[in-house]
Structures are given as C-alpha cells and as structure tokens.
Amino acid sequence: MSKKHKHFETAVIHEGYDSKEMLGSLTTPLFQTSTYTFDSAQQGERRFAGEEEGYVYSRIGNPTVTVLEERIAKLENGERGLAFGSGMAAVSAVLIALTKAGDHIVCSSGLYGCTFGLLTMMKDKYNISHDFSTMESKEEIRSLIRPETSLIYVETPINPTMKLIDLQLVAEVAKEYGIPVVVDNTFSTPYLQRPLELGADVVVHSATKYIGGHGDVVAGLVVGKKDFLDSVAMTTQKDIGGVMSPFDAWLLIRGLKTLAIRLDRHCDNAERVFEKLRKHPKVANAYYPGDGRHPDYPIKEKQMKRGGGLISFEIKGTKADAQAMLNKLSFLKLAVSLGDAETLIQHPATMTHAVVPEESRNKMGITDQLIRLSVGLEAWEDIWEDLEQALDQV
C-alpha cells in the first residue's frame, strides 16, 4: 500500500492506490463486476467467515470502491471510509446505526431539506425525536441533551443560510456526555475543513457535490473510527444496501484529483462575486463565510481554510421578485445541487428546502427572498455580469 502523503494536493492524487498492484495501470481500473469467483468451496466458506481477505460480492466490497474509501479516509484523517449510492444513503446509514427507537438527537438549527425529512420520518416511525440548537454556547447545547440523546448532528456551513457552527465547542460538550458528533462536511470538503481533527467522530458527505465536482454522479461517503465503520459496513451498509457503484467510484477518484485546485478557484470566484453582490442595490443581505463581516467569521478563521464556493443572498422584494431574477439569468444554470464547474443557482424555499414546513424554514432563516448561489469555475467577471443584468431587471 502507498505511504501516507504529507500534502493534501498529493494525497488526493495518490492515496489508496498503488499502480504496481494493478499491472502498472496509471489510473485506477474500473472493476465493473457484481461478484467474484472462488477457487474452491472452502475458500468461499473462509471468505464469508471473514477468515480470509478477499472480495465476495460488490454490495460488500469492490476494488475500485475500496480505493476511493481509503483515499477519503486519509483526506479526512480518519481510520476508515465507506462509500454509498448517495449522500442521503450515507446520512441515513449513520443515523440509523447510531440510534434505536426512543432515542433523541440534537442537531444544528439548519439542515439540508432531505436530512430534515429523514429526521421527521425517524420521529414519526421510531419515536426518535430531535431538537434544533444554534450551538452558539456550551450551555445551550447542554440544556438540550437528555439521557436518551444518542448523538449530535451538525452541518457547517449550514445549507443554505451559510451560518457556521464551532465544531470544537460542540465536540467538547459531546465528550462530557460520551456521545458522538456527526458532521456533514459536504460544503467544505476535507480541503477546507477537517471535522475529525476538531474532535468530531464521524464525517458524512454528499460526494455528488465538490468531491465529484463535475455534476455527473450522485454519491455519498462516510469517514470515522474503524470500529464504528466496521459495524456500519456489516449492518446499515450491507443490509440496507445503499452502496456505491464501481463506475461512480471511478468518476469520484478522477474528480478528487483536482479537488484542491478546483476549490481554490471556487473560493477565488466566490470572494470576487460576493464583493459585487453585497453592494448591488437590489440585494438586501448577502452571506459568505469568507467575508470578514459575516457574524460567524471568527469560527471560519478557527476551522476553515477558506470560505468555500457558496453564497446566499436575499433580494429586496418578494418571492415573485426572487423568481423573476432567476428567470432573467442568461447562462448561469437554474438548478439544485452545488459544487460543479457550472455556476448553479436555486431558490431554497421552493426547491432544496421545500419539504421543510414554512414555520421551521423561517426559524432556520430560509426566507422566500433567499437565493443560493454555487459559484462555478467560469471567469468570475462573466458570472457577475449575468447576475448583475438579472438583478438590474428585478
């Protein structure tokens, strides 16, 4: 196996893969197979018993997927990685593994819409309740923890409000109670933020976003301690079965190689577009964690390398004005998802967070005027020109 690489930019290209083991193939081969042959019935028995290493069936493991799992584990500085068929498959595998009927979850006061939907379903079906916390102080988190609280779940930056949570502070409280902290690191990726180094126990990703980076795959990843991920691998991954296809792993291995350079460009573009956007007369508020005026900027300075590629902003006016602006865009893409080469723009209240009831949306800060912008890799001047002409027409 390859040695541990010191620099992130090298690790995204080399970790978890040794070409000498693969007939010298420079790129990771695509093992597009569902199953694996045994030399004898006894070998099959030993493999199923876990007495001999080797692949048995691609829901339980695949060599292409293994390379990706080892690479993401190294990048997040965790012990083991696991790959899933979507970000939600990853989130649900972790949440189901860590809870039983009657348990309780403390979560950040903003979450991706489908994560909110999953928590609502778990409450309705299994009486697993949850409370939202701003996580602004230790006292506030402590006040919500009950004997049956089995985990703390955090998104930071929060989709789509771009508020931040202090991960070290949350991890310190969780340690007092001996409960794990799960962090959705989709918006930052390990290039900008490494929650496990700040005391979190598990990291989840929608790899659909920056990790893939090219808008051509839906996928999820989990990283954490070996014992916990071994148990997830044998339960909520193997038996619920939301695994990643080998081809999707192959695409993600390719995407990851440029993660660092892509993210630097996403950040450069977002910083420049934000400076213009915040001054536009039709924009009431604009939120970017890399901006020194952002209320959570001190948290950004503590735990994020840069501010990321996402901006959200509120239009002066109504929902109709926000929709009118989106309809006036020329080449920027009106679409959900984020982290792609193309700049993507969407209306959270009616799209990604439409499943969140209006009252909860308002509490989270998702107003009808809020627009989320995933700044792409195009020339920033072109991105701004399109946004400006659309805003001018509102």
Would you please indicate which residues are annotated as catalytic (active-site) residues? 59, 112, 184, 209
Stated as kind and residue range, the H or E segment containing 104 is strand 104-108
Residue 362 is encoded by which pair of tokens? 């308002």
Q: How many CB atoms lie within 10 A of CB 220?
A: 27
Among 25-33, 240-248, 336-344, 363-371, the segment contacting ligand LCS (CB under 6 A): 336-344
Binding of ligand LCS by 186 (CB under 6 A): yes
Which residue's CB atom is positioned nearest to ligand LCS? 87
Among 61-69, 144-152, 272-280, 335-343, the segment contacting ligand LCS (CB under 6 A): 335-343
Residue 167 is encoded by which pair of tokens? 């991960």
Considering beta carbons, is residue 285 or 337 the nearer one to ligand LCS?
337
Q: How many CB atoms lie within 10 A of CB 18?
A: 11
Considering beta carbons, is residue 108 or 269 the nearer one to ligand LCS?
108
Q: Do 157 and 188 form a contact (C-beta atoms < 8 A)?
A: yes
- Of 22, 118, 329, 336, the residue at the interface with ligand LCS (CB under 6 A) is 336
- Of 62, 159, 236, 303, the residue at the interface with ligand LCS (CB under 6 A) is 159
Site map 210..229 versus ligand LCS, x via CB under 6 A = --------x-x---------
Q: Identify the CA nearest to 218 among candidates 304, 338, 51.
A: 338
Whether residue 160 has a cis bond before it, omega within 30° of 0: yes
Among 86-94, 97-105, 306-314, 319-327, the segment contacting ligand LCS (CB under 6 A): 86-94
Binding of ligand LCS by 308 (CB under 6 A): no
DSSP 227-278: HHHHHHIIIIITTT--BPPHHHHHHHHHHHTTHHHHHHHHHHHHHHHHHHHT
Considering beta carbons, is residue 144 or 182 the nearer one to ligand LCS?
182
- Count the site residues for ligand LCS by CB under 6 A: 19
Binding of ligand LCS by 88 (CB under 6 A): yes
- How far apart are CB 118 and ligand LCS at their closest, in Å? 10
3-state helix, strand, coil in the chain (%, to 5): 40, 15, 45
Q: Do 107 and 95 form a contact (C-beta atoms < 8 A)?
A: no
Whether residue 157 has a cis bond before it, omega within 30° of 0: yes
Interatomic CA distance for residues 275 and 292, integer angstroms = 11
Considering beta carbons, is residue 220 or 309 the nearer one to ligand LCS?
220
Q: Which of residues 17-46 bind ligand LCS (CB under 6 A)?
A: none
Interatomic CA distance for residues 184 and 154, integer angstroms = 6
Considering beta carbons, is residue 112 or 274 the nearer one to ligand LCS?
112
From residue 289, alpha-carbon distances to 106, 182, 383 in Å are: 23, 21, 19
Site map 96..115 versus ligand LCS, x via CB under 6 A = ----------------x-xx
Binding of ligand LCS by 116 (CB under 6 A): no
Binding of ligand LCS by 242 (CB under 6 A): no
Which residues of this chain interact with ligand LCS, rule CB under 6 A? 86-88, 91, 112, 114-115, 155, 159, 184, 186, 206, 208, 218, 220, 336-338, 352
